[in-house]
Amino acid sequence: MNTRLADLQPYPFEKLRALFSGVTPPVLSPIRLSIGEPQHATPSFIGQALVERLSGLSTYPTTAGTDVLRSALCEWFARRYHVRLDPATQVLPVNGTREALFSFAQTVVDAQAHRDRAPLVACPNPFYQIYEGAAVLAGAQTAFLNQTADADYCLALDALSEEEWRRTQLLYVCTPGNPTGRVLRLEEWAQLFEYADRYGFTIASDECYADIYPNEREPPLGGLEAAARLGRVDFRGLVVFVSLSKRSNAPGLRSGAVAGDAVLLERYLLYRTYHGCAMSLAVQHASVAAWREELHVRQNRGYYREKFEAVVPILAPVLDVSPPEAGFYLWARVPGSDTDFARELFAATHVTVLPGQFLARDAHGLNPGVGYVRIALVPELTDCVEAARRIAHFTAES
C-alpha cells in the first residue's frame, strides 16, 4: 500500500460532519452555505450539445482533445485575458480543475531531487485542500504562505527561508482566491515570477473562479495576462487552470482546461496519456458550446451580484464581512471560535457554514482560518437572504 495515503488530511466536509455529530437542528428548512457547489441551473444548450454528440461514445478520445475544443479554448483565453495561445502546444482540456491540479503535481515534482530532504510544494493558507493532497502523494511536503486580513491577504512570501525556497518545486496560487476572493495584483505576479526564476519552481495558478466577478467592466487579472503584460509571452514556468464548473454552473460536466508554458504542457500531456484521463467526445462538444457562449455567464454573474447586494447589508451590522473582489464566498470574521459558531449556528438555525480553520493549517505560529467562516452564496437568492437573516438574528442574540 502507498504509505503516503496515511498522510492525507480528512476533507473539510468530513470534519464538518464530525463537528455536527449529535446536534439536532431545529425544524426549519435546511440551508447549506458550506459547500462551494454552484446551484444555478446548467444552461439547457450545454445539455443539448452533450446529447447531440452521444455518437462520440463509440470512439476513444485523444488526451490532447479535439482541434475544435483547443481552438475554442484559445478564443476564450484571448477574449477573457487578451492573450494569444498556440492551440497546438499551449492549451489542454482537463476533466475539471480538481483532477488537473492534482495530476499536475505528479508531473512536476521530482521527489528525489534533494536526496536527503523532501521537495516543497508551496500553497496559500487558507487553501483548496487538493493542493496539499497532490503534494503529499507526489512525495513532497507542503510549505504554507499565510494570507491574513492584516496583510491585505497578500501571500506571505517572506515566511519561507532561502533554503525552503530553494527546495520549492511548485507553487500553487488561487486567484480569485477560495475562500478570500482575493485577486493577485500585477506587482504581486511580478514578484512571483521573480521568485520562480530565481529558485526554479513552477507556478500553478488555480483560476476556477475567473468568471465570477461583480463588475462587468473589471474582470479580475489572471496569471497569463499578467505574464504577457510583464513581457513573458512564452508564459515560462506558468500553467493556469480554468473550469466550466462555476462559469457555466456545470460541475457535473467535469470540464476545464490548462494553459501556459508549452514545455510544461508537453510533459503534462505525456503524464496524462498514461494517467488515462482523456475527455469524452460528448463532453468536449458540450464544452465547446459552453466556452463560446458568454451570455449565460453574464447572467450568472448577475445572480451572484444580486445575492451579495442583498446579503452583505443584513450581515454587516453583526459580522465583520465585506463583499469579495470576486468569487461567490464571503469570508466572515465571527465573534469567538469559528467551530463553535458554526456548530451553534447549525443547532439554532439549521444553516450550515464552514469553519475557516477547516480550510487552513497551523503555519508560522497561527492558523489563518481560525475565527472565520466561509459562507458560499450558492443557493437561490431567497434562501441566501433567509439564511443571512437567521445568521444575523443568531449572532445578535448570542
Ligand X SMILES: Cc1ncc(COP(=O)(O)O)c(C=O)c1O
Amino acid (one-letter) located at 257: A
| Element (DSSP H or E) covering residue 205 | strand 202-206
Closer by beta carbon to ligand X, 378 or else 392: 378
Answer yes or no whether residue 97 interacts with ligand X by CB under 6 A.
yes
Secondary structure, 3-state, 90-146: CEEEECCHHHHHHHHHHHHCCCCCCCCCCCEEEEEECCCCHHHHHHHHCCCEEEEEE
Q: To the nearest whole angstrom, how small is the minimum distance from the Cβ of residue 231 to ligand X?
A: 28
Q: Is 249 left (phi over 0), alpha (psi -120 to 50) or beta?
A: left
Among the listed ranges 82-90, 95-103, 359-367, 377-385, the one in contact with ligand X (CB under 6 A) is: 95-103
Closer by beta carbon to ligand X, 33 or else 118: 33
Answer yes or no whether residue 245 interacts with ligand X by CB under 6 A.
yes
Closer by beta carbon to ligand X, 146 or else 243: 243
* Binding residues for ligand X restricted to 361-380, rule: CB under 6 A: none
Q: To the nearest whole angstrom, how small is the minimum distance from the Cβ of residue 185 to ligand X?
A: 19
Q: To the nearest whole angstrom, how small is the minimum distance from the Cβ of residue 301 to ligand X?
A: 17
Answer yes or no whether residue 93 interacts with ligand X by CB under 6 A.
no
CB-CB contact of 12 with 130 (8 Å): no
**List 12, 87, 119, 251, residue binding ligand X (CB under 6 A):** 251
* Binding residues for ligand X restricted to 208-227, rule: CB under 6 A: 208
* Binding residues for ligand X restricted to 116-155, rule: CB under 6 A: 128
Closer by beta carbon to ligand X, 11 or else 336: 11
Q: What's the DSSP call for residue 375?
A: E
d(CA 75, CA 158): 37
The residue written with cell numbers 443557493 in the block is: 379
Closer by beta carbon to ligand X, 174 or else 342: 174
Other Cβ atoms within 10 Å of 152 Cβ, number: 9
Answer yes or no whether residue 34 interacts with ligand X by CB under 6 A.
no
Closer by beta carbon to ligand X, 167 or else 254: 254
d(CA 363, CA 132): 13
Closer by beta carbon to ligand X, 81 or else 241: 241
Q: CA 309, 182, 213: angle at the middle one, nearest 5?
A: 45
d(CA 355, CA 183): 22
Q: To the nearest whole angstrom, how small is the minimum distance from the Cβ of residue 256 to ligand X?
A: 5
| Element (DSSP H or E) covering residue 77 | helix 67-81
Among the listed ranges 243-251, 266-274, 288-296, 332-340, the one in contact with ligand X (CB under 6 A) is: 243-251
3-state secondary structure of 88: coil
Closer by beta carbon to ligand X, 241 or else 394: 241
Written as one string, the DSSP assignment of 316-364 is TTTSB----SSSSEEEEE-SS-HHHHHHHHHHHH-EE-EEGGGG---BT
* Binding residues for ligand X restricted to 156-185, rule: CB under 6 A: 174, 178
**List 188, 206, 338, 383, residue binding ligand X (CB under 6 A):** 206
Answer yes or no whether residue 253 interacts with ligand X by CB under 6 A.
no
d(CA 120, CA 168): 4
Total residues interacting with ligand X, rule: CB under 6 A: 13
| Closest residue by Cα to residue 136 from 119, 115, 114 | 119
Q: Which residues of 118-138 are buried (b: 16+ CB within 10 A; e: fewer)?
A: bbbbbbbbbbbbbbbbbbbbb
**List 43, 219, 256, 324, residue binding ligand X (CB under 6 A):** 256
**List 12, 36, 214, 368, residue binding ligand X (CB under 6 A):** 36
Answer yes or no whether residue 243 interacts with ligand X by CB under 6 A.
yes
**List 93, 96, 223, 356, residue binding ligand X (CB under 6 A):** 96
Q: To the nearest whole angstrom, how small is the minimum distance from the Cβ of residue 89 to ligand X?
A: 23
- Interface contacts to ligand X, rule CB under 6 A: 36, 96-98, 128, 174, 178, 206, 208, 243, 245, 251, 256
